[in-house]
Structure 1
Amino acid sequence: MRTRNSGMQSLVNNLIKGAFVVGVIGFGLTACTNPSTPAGEEGYVYEKPRVFGEGGYQGTMIGPANYGMSLLRNEVVNIDMRPNTYTETFRILANDDLNIKFDFHAVIAIQSGSVRTVVEQYGAENWYKRFVRETFRTYVRDTVQKYDSGELKTNREKIAQEVTLRLQDYLSTTPFKLANVVVGNINYPDIVANAVEKKLAAQQLLAEKETQKEIARKDAEIRVEEAKGIAQAQKIINATLTANYLQHEAINAQIKMAESPNHTTVYIPVGNNGVPLVKGAN
């Protein structure tokens, strides 16, 4: 009877030990953490206490990297440190009270090694929204409202430069580094766009009229030169048409007509030089 009880006790003890081992293994598999950070980002590793302890900052890592297995409940906040483009869309009244729509693009990177500062002081992943966005928008509005609507496109580089200098100065003591600011598409109201199209069409028509005017002027010059040529020719001819020359030409014409078998010609001698009037008869 004792042997039987001893066997049962041994079985129970083995079951308890097995359960304990499985529990330890299960706890180890589920409790251990291994935070990781991808390439181009930096990770802020912190502990979330399970029951006891204060938790908090544990360290940082530059991706790609793993923090390593730990029984602590470690987690990571990854921050992209690479240059990224942040776009803001505006509808702003220009200096002449015309509502203009356009985009501004700011290219901003984060200084390497500053992930702890970004997380603890600037809102982690929300750093742009919490610390940069509204200041950026204010600088854009202040600068654009100095110009009339018609001056914006021709001064877009000047506007971008002014906003860049102000934003760089604002970010100079922070981990955020502004690369540049670019003015995107500028869209005027339809009424302005239509007016611009009409103006361009009128300018094109005016250019065509100027071209036609130039062609007409050149044509007139050609006609003047032709008239001068004809007048000069007539002057030369008039100077050479003497009475003897005309009589010589008339005699030659009479000889040619007399030799022609196709018709009969009657000569009537008239005129001071005996130059006949010529009349054809069929």
Structure 2
Amino acid sequence: MFLISIGIIALIAGFVLSAQQNQSSRYGIIARVAGIVLIGLGIFTTMFKTIDTGQVGVKTLFGKVEDDVLYSGLHVVNPLVEITSFDVKTQNYTMSAVHDEGMKSGDDAIRVLSADGLEVTIDLSVLFKVSASKAPTILRQIGDDYLDKIVRPVSRTAIRDNAVSYEAIALYSTKREEFQNRIFNAINSSFAKRGLVLEQLLVRNITLPESVKKTIESKINAEQDAQKMIFVLQKEKQEAERKRVEAQGIADYQKILSTGLSDKQLQYEAIKAQKEIALSPNSKVIIMGSTKGTPILINGN
């Protein structure tokens, strides 16, 4: 459009100069020729539009949005058409309490009231993309500022509307996944009506009031202490059972010895033991006592 504008100016100037009956008329002819060349060059260059990868183009002619979509690549279009590009890749819109982590500077987390009247702070990331075929509708009904007009308010409203159904501790622990699924369905339904596709919803962090956090920590510590006590009691019980079994074994052994062994059997066992000692190369055997009694083996070493 810049070349066309310069060409028009040069063409007008050429006509003005050509109207004069002097040497300026020659410059007027040159200016008109230059203007025509610039206009032609401008029209030629504006006929070709390149749409980058991951984007689509929407054509607007004299304020009217056309329904056909230009996908990535080179296109020949009407030089008077304006092209508005839309990013159709996955986009991430984050609202976080951490400074400069979200789309807005500063603390941009969502603060909601739970069912028990406590204020809960939620960090949220919305992964979405623009439906390529719906880009003309988005431009016509919303404009190209769909982040602030649709993504942000719809997401924050869905969080607040659903958080009131849960208690703060449930949001933090047992009901977190259920809560995330509910707000996903709510946002997805609203996005679909406006040409946006919700891909994933991430409840990144849920921060409870300090008083609730201390209560949870106390409960966790109490549960851990109870688990430790159960372990200690089980260990003591196992040790007591081990000692009982050991004592029973000793008692059974003593009972066997007192009732099951005769003097002759004891004498026989003693002879066997002394025989093994006698067979040792380091032993010298001296037999003392009566032949009827139990022999005594003395190690000479």
Q: Same fold, TM exceeding 0.5? A: yes
Preserved CA contact (<8 Å) 1:91 1:100: yes
1:22 to 19, 34, 51: 34
* Alignment partner of 1:63 is 2:71: yes
Residues of 2 paired with 1:71 and 1:106: CA distance?
38
Q: State, as a whole percentage, how many aligned pairs show the same letter.
A: 23
TM-score normalized by the length of structure 1: 0.64
Residues of 2 paired with 1:185 and 1:23: CA distance?
62
Figure out how many residues of one structure are paired with residues of the other and give that number: 238
Preserved CA contact (<8 Å) 2:58 2:136: yes
2:225 to 205, 212, 224: 205
Give 1 or 2: higher strand fraction: 1
Quote the offset at 1:30 in angstroms: 5.9
TM-score normalized by the length of structure 2: 0.61
RMSD between aligned alpha carbons?
A: 4.0
Residues of 1 paired with 2:70 and 2:225: CA distance?
64
2:84 to 55, 63, 77: 77
- 2:59 counterpart residue number: 45
Quote the offset at 1:183 in angstroms: 2.6
* Alignment partner of 1:33 is 2:46: yes
Residues of 1 paired with 2:228 and 2:260: CA distance?
48
- Unpaired runs of 5+ in structure 1? 1-8, 48-54, 243-250, 261-282
Residues of 2 paired with 1:220 and 1:164: CA distance?
56
* Alignment partner of 1:151 is 2:157: no
Q: 1:157 to 1:16 in 2, by over 3 A?
A: same
Instruction: Name the SS for the 1:113 alignment partner.
Output: helix
Deviations 1:163-203 (A, max 9, x none): 23333443454423334434322223444444434443443
- Unpaired runs of 5+ in structure 2? 1-20, 96-108, 263-288
After superposition, residues 1-282 of structure 1 pair within 5 angstroms as: 14-28=26-40, 33=46, 35-47=49-61, 55-57=62-64, 59=66, 60-68=68-76, 72=80, 74-88=81-95, 89-122=109-142, 124-152=143-171, 153-235=173-255
Preserved CA contact (<8 Å) 2:65 2:136: no
Residues of 2 paired with 1:13 and 1:135: CA distance?
65
Deviations 1:67-97 (A, max 9, x none): 547664x432111234433334312121122
Preserved CA contact (<8 Å) 1:33 1:75: no
Residues of 1 paired with 2:203 and 2:111: CA distance?
13
Computing the radius of gyration from Cα coordinates, the structure with the larger value is 1
Higher relative contact order (CA 8 A, sep 6+): 1
Residues of 1 paired with 2:139 and 2:182: CA distance?
30
Residues of 1 paired with 2:223 and 2:63: CA distance?
70
Residues of 1 paired with 2:134 and 2:53: CA distance?
16
Instruction: Name the SS for the 1:147 alignment partner.
Output: coil
Residues of 2 paired with 1:141 and 1:214: CA distance?
48
Residues of 1 paired with 2:166 and 2:236: CA distance?
44
Deviations 1:91-120 (A, max 9, x none): 212112232222333333333333222111
Deviations 1:22-63 (A, max 9, x none): 34334555676355432222222335xxxxxxx323745423
Q: 1:163 to 1:21 in 2, by over 3 A?
A: same
What code does the residue aligned with 2:170 have? E
Instruction: Name the SS for the 2:57 alignment partner.
Output: strand
